[in-house]
Structure 1
Amino acid sequence: MEKYKNIIIGFGKGGKTLAKVLASRGESVLVIEKSKRMYGGTCINVGCIPSKSLIVNGEKGVPFTKGIMKKEALTAKLRNKNYHMIADEATGTVMDGTARFISNHILEIKNDGLTRVEGDRIFINTGATPIVLPIKGLKESKYVVDSLAAMDLEALPETLVIIGAGYIGLEFASMFANYGSKVIVLDAKEKFLAREDDDVADLIFKDLTAQGIEFHLGVSLDEVSDRTDHAKIIYTENGQTATINADKILAATGRKPNIAGLGLENTDVKITDRGEIVVDDLLRTDAPNVWAIGDVKGGPQFTYVSLDDYRIILDQLDGNNTRSLKDRTIVPSSVFITPPLSTVGLTEKAAKAMGLDYKLFKFMTAGVPKANILEDPKGMFKVLVDPKTERILGASIYAEESHEVINLITLAMKGDLPYTLLRDQIYTHPTMSEALNDVLK
C-alpha cells in the first residue's frame, strides 16, 4: 500500500493550491479526481469560468453554438494547465478514480481496479452537487438539465423553463435570454430576491422582465412529463392549474455537499443534517489530521472562499496559526446578470432589522459617465455608513462592472477605513469606480 504525506480528494481551488505548494516543498502529494473533465475543479470546468464565458459572449451577440465552442476551448486549456500544475511536480501525483474512506487515513480508490493508499494528512475537497427537487417526473425527464449540463447543450433551446429564481437561476435566465431563448422562470417563493433590498430587487425584476424573461412566483410544481419533442410542466399558480411546454428544463434549485460514496461512516468525521462536513474554525474535522476544504463543509459556495480555506490550512501547517474562520467576516459576492449585482456586508433591510443607526448613500447608475459609454445605464449604487464611526456597513451595487467596484468597498471595510477615503479618492476616468466620488457625497 502506497503511503503519502498528503492526500487531497478532489481537484477544487483550495485543494489544488495546497497541493501545488506542498509538492513544491518536496512533500509527497496525491490528488484524487474521479473525472478527467474536472481537473482544476468546479470553477474552471463547470462553474464560474465557463458560465461567465458564455455570459460575456451572449452579451456580445455571439451565436450560442460558437459561445459553447469558445467556452470549451477555454476550459480545456485551463484543465490541462491545472493537471500539469500538480503532475509535473517531482513529488506530485494525480490519480483518476473515486475515493472511499476505509478508515481515518486509509482510502480505497476505484478506477480500473481497486487501489488502497494511506495518508498522514487527508484533505476532503469534493465540492457540491446540484439538488433535484422531488417533483413527479422531473428526475426522469430527458429534457431536464442541471447548471452543469446547461453549459454543454449542443443547440440553443427555443423555450427554456428554469426552476428556481435564485442567483444561479437568474444568471442562466439572463444568459439564455441574451442568446435568444424564450425564458420562463418558476419559483415557489412569492417574493423576488427576498434577501435584497426591495428597491434593488424591484429594479432587477423590471429589467429582467424587459429583457423578455417571464416570471411565475409563488407557484407549486406538480408534474413534469415528456412528449415526443418537448416536456410538459404542470404547476399551480394562484390556485389555478397551468401548463408550460419546454424544449429544456433547467433545475437551478441549489447545491448540496458532495459526500455520497465517500465512506465517511468509516471515519470519525461528522456531518450535519444537511450533509455538510463538520469543521472547527481551523477547518479540522473530528478525525485527526483530516480537514475539509470548500463547498463540502457548507457555507458560501465561492471559489474565492475555497482559496481562503487553503490559506487557513497552510497557516496551520506552517505553524503560524494566525488565520481562522473567525476572520472571515466580510465576503463580497456577485450575481452575473446583465448588469451584475454585487453586494458586501449589510443591506438596508438587514440594518433596519438589527435596529442599527445608519446613513444611506444612494445613486442611480444613469448618472455615471462610464455606464453610458457602455450603453447600459441601468441600476443603482447603495452604500450604508455608520454615522458615528464613518465606517462602511455594507453596499449593494447593481451596475456594469459592479463586481470590480465591490472589491474596493470590501477592501475599505476590511481595512477599517472611513468611507470618506473612497469619496475623496482620485480615480482614473472614465471608470465605474469613480462613481464613488458622487455616490458618497
Structure 2
Amino acid sequence: MNKYENIIVGFGKGGKTLAKTLTAKGQSVLVIEKSKRMYGGTCINIGCIPSKSLILNGEKKMSFSTAIEHKEKLIGMLRNKNYHMISDEATGEVLDGTAKFVADHILEVTLPDGSIKQVEGERIFINTGAVPVIPPIVGLRESTYLLDSTSAMDQEKLPDNLVIIGAGYIGLEFASMFNSYGSKVTVLDASTDFISREDDDVSELIYNDLVEAGIEFHLGVSIDKVKDHADFAEVTYTENGEKKIVKANKVLAATGRKPNTSELGLENTSIQVTDRGAIVVDDFLRTTADDVWAIGDVKGGLQFTYISLDDYRIILSQLFGEEERKVSDRVVVPYSVFITPPLSNVGLTEKEAQKRNIDYKIFKLMAAGVPKAQVLEDARGVFKILVDPKTEQILGATIYAEESHEVINLIALAIKANLPYTMLRDTIYTHPTMSESLNDVLK
C-alpha cells in the first residue's frame, strides 16, 4: 500500500491550492480525481468560468456554436494548467480514479481499467464538491432531453425551446444566458415568490427586465410529468388549477446542488454527515475523524469557489500558522448572480433589516443615473445601500446593474474594515466607472 503525508480527494479550488502549498513545502501529496474533465474543480470546468464565458459571449451576440468552442478552449487550457500545477511537482501526484474510504485514513481507488489501488494518508482532505439535484418529477430523470447545470454547458446545438425547472439563481443565470443566444426560454417554479431573498423592489425590477427580454415565467405551479416524444419533451404542469403543457427541445433541472458524498464510503469511517449528506465539520473544518478535513461544497453551506479558497486559508492556518482563521469569522461574504445586468449583494438587505428590527438609513439610486451605465448601453437596475444611522457604517448593499460584481467587492471591503459610508462617498474615483456611482448614491 502506498502511503502519503497528504491525500486530497477531489481537485477543487481549496484542495488544489492546498496541494500546491504542501508540495512547495516538500510534503508528499496525492490528489485523486475520478474525471479527467474535472482537473481544477467545479469552477473551472463546469461552474463559474464556463458559464460566465457563455454569458459574456451571449451578450456579445456571438453564435452559440462559436461560444461553445471558445468555452472549451478556455477550460481546456485551465484544466491542463491545473493538472501540471500538481503533477509536475517533485512530491505531487495526480491519480485518476474513484476513491472510496475503507477506514478513516485508507482509501480504495478504482482506476479507469477497473483495477483497485489502496492508499493511506496521514492527513486526508475531502474536496469532492456537489452534484445537481434532480427533483422527483414523473419521467424527468428518465427523459433523454434532461439537462443539469453541467450538461447544459456541453450542448453543441442551441435548443430552440428550453424549459427550466427552478427560478432560483442558477435557473435565472441559465435563462438569461440561453435567451441571449436566441432560445425560447420558459421557467417553471413551485414558489409564487420570485427570488424572495431579495428586496421586493429589486425582485420586481429583475422580473420585469427578464420578461421584457423574452423569458416566460410560470410561478406557483406544480410540475406533474415529463413525457418524451421523437423530437421533443412534453412538460405537463398545473397552474391555478388548470393543466397546461409546454413543449421543449431540452428540459433543464436547475433545482440546486447537494454535497457529493454518496459514493465515498463514509459509512466505513467515523466521519459524520448530515441528513442531506453534507460532511459535519467544526469551526476549523475538521471532521469527526482525526486529521480528516472537508473543503468546499462537500461540507454544505455557501457553494462559492471563493469559500473553498477561504477554507484553504483556514486549514493552512492550522497546519502552519496559529489557527488564527476559522469559519465563524466569515461574516462578510458577497455574492453575484450573472444575469444581464448582474445582481450582487453583501450584508443585509432592506427586507432582512426590517425582519430583524435593525434601524437603518437607505440610499438608493437608479442605474440610469450612472454615466458608465449609459456608456455600456444598459442603464437598467438600481443601487441600494443600507447604513447604520448612528455609527455611519454600512450594513449591506444590493446592486442590480452593469459591473455590480466589481463594485460589490469595494463595499464588502468597507464593511470588513468598519469604514463609515462617507469614506466611499467622498473617495475620488476614475471616470467613467460604475464605482464612481458611490459618490452619488451615498449623498
Shorter chain as denominator, the TM-score bin is over 0.9
Q: Distance in 2 between matches of 1:229 and 1:267?
A: 47
> 2:247 is matched with which residue?
245
What is the match of residue 185 of structure 1?
187
CA RMSD, Structure 1 to Structure 2 (Å): 0.4
Q: Which runs of 5+ in 1 are unaligned?
A: none
**Equivalences for residues 382-397 of structure 1 within 5 A:** 382-397=384-399
Cα shift at 1:319: 3.5
Q: 1:428 aligns with which of 427, 430, 442?
A: 430
SS in 2 for 1:30: strand
Percent of pairs with identical residues = 70
Stretches of structure 2 that go unaligned for 5 or more consecutive residues are none
Q: Does 1:378 align with 2:383?
A: no
Partner of 1:73: 73
Rounded Cα–Cα distance in structure 2 between residues aligned with 1:108 and 1:193: 43
Once the two structures are superposed, residues 162-189 of structure 1 have per-residue CA deviations (whole angstroms, 9 ceiling, x without a partner) of 0000000000000000000000000000
1:233-264 C-alpha deviation (Å, 9 max, x unpaired):
00000000000000000100000000021010
1:269 to 264, 271, 275: 271
1:100 aligns with 2:112: no
Counterpart for residue 8 of structure 2: 8
1:149 aligns with one of 144, 148, 151: 151
Matched to 2:103, the amino acid is S
CA offset at residue 197 of structure 1?
A: 0.1
- Superposition pairs of residues 56-205 of structure 1, within 5 angstroms: 56-111=56-111, 112=113, 113-205=115-207
Deviation track 1:379-409 (CA, whole Å, cap 9, x = no partner) reads 0000000000011000000000000000000
Q: What is the CA deviation profile of residues 1-29 of structure 1, one whole-angstrom value per residue up to 9, with x for unaligned ones?
A: 00000000000000000000000110000
Q: Give distance in 1, aligned partners of 2:318 and 2:168.
A: 36
Q: Which amino acid aligns with 1:4?
A: Y
Q: Give, in whole Å, the separation in 1 of the partners of 2:262 and 2:78.
A: 27
Confirm or deny that 1:255 pairs with 2:252. no
> What TM-score, normalized to structure 1?
1.00
Q: How does 1:209-228 map to 2 (within 5 A)?
A: 209-228=211-230
Moved more, 266-275 or 394-403: 266-275
Kindly report which structure 2 residues correspond to 1:216-365, keeping only aligned pairs within 5 A, or say none.
216-365=218-367
SS across alignment from 2:94: strand
Displacement, 1:274? 1.2
AA matched with 1:379: G
* Deviant stretches of 4+, over 6 Å: none
What are the superposed Cα offsets for residues 104-151 of structure 1, whole Å, 9 maximum, x if unpaired? 000000012100000000000000000000000000000010010010
Distance 1:362 1:309 in 2: 34
With normalisation by structure 2, the TM-score equals 0.99
SS state at 1:212 partner: coil
Give SS of 2:71's match: helix
2:306 and 2:412 map into 1 onto residues whose CA distance is: 14
> Which secondary structure state, in structure 2, belongs to the residue aligned with residue 337 of structure 1?
coil
Question: Per-residue CA shift, 1:207-233, capped at 9, x if unaligned?
Answer: 000000000000000000000100000
State the aligned residue count: 441
Deviation string, structure 1 residues 290-347 (Cα, Å, up to 9, x no partner): 0000000001000000000000000000141100001100100000000000000000
CA distance in 1, matches of 2:197, 2:49: 25
Q: Which residue identity lines up with residue 291 of structure 2 in the other structure?
A: N
Report the equivalent of 2:34.
34
Query: How far apart, CA to CA, are the structure 1 residues paired with 2:426 and 2:269?
Result: 55
Matched residue SS, 2:309: helix
Residue 212 of structure 1 aligns with an amino acid whose one-letter code is: G
Task: Name the amino acid aligned to 1:156.
Answer: L
